Amino acid sequence: MLEIEIFPEHVKVSSRNLPAKDGKPGRTMYEQTAYVNLGGKFPVQMTLQLDNAAPFAAGKYTVDPSSFIVNNFGSLELKRYGMKIVPINRKEHTA
């Protein structure tokens, strides 16, 4: 199972404003720092794209199965947008 961890010091959101382009309005992207365990000695820092300005709580998460698709070649891949994560232990991370 892929494990993603958010530490207490990263329970905050950073935002980026993207300017309007090609007739489309500008938008704000919300991001949060997390760490993914890829099997090495240390976890690797990553950025989670958020739907809104509400950060995930500190804790351990995994990627929700709805975040994967089978592409046109029959291979499994992670969706480009809309990756969802869920707590590994729901009792420990209930808000």
Q: What is the pLDDT of residues 35-82, one digit of tens each?
A: 999 999 999 999 999 988 899 999 999 999 999 999 999 999 998 888
pTM as predicted = 0.79
Give the separation between CA 73 and CA 48, rounded to whole angstroms: 27
Burial class (CB in 10 A: 0-12, 13-18, 19+), 75: exposed
Between the alpha carbon of residue 56 and those of residues 24, 32, 75, 76, 80, the distances in Å are 29, 8, 30, 26, 20
> How confident is the model at residue 81, as a pLDDT?
80
| Residue 68, token pair as written in the block | 């994967």
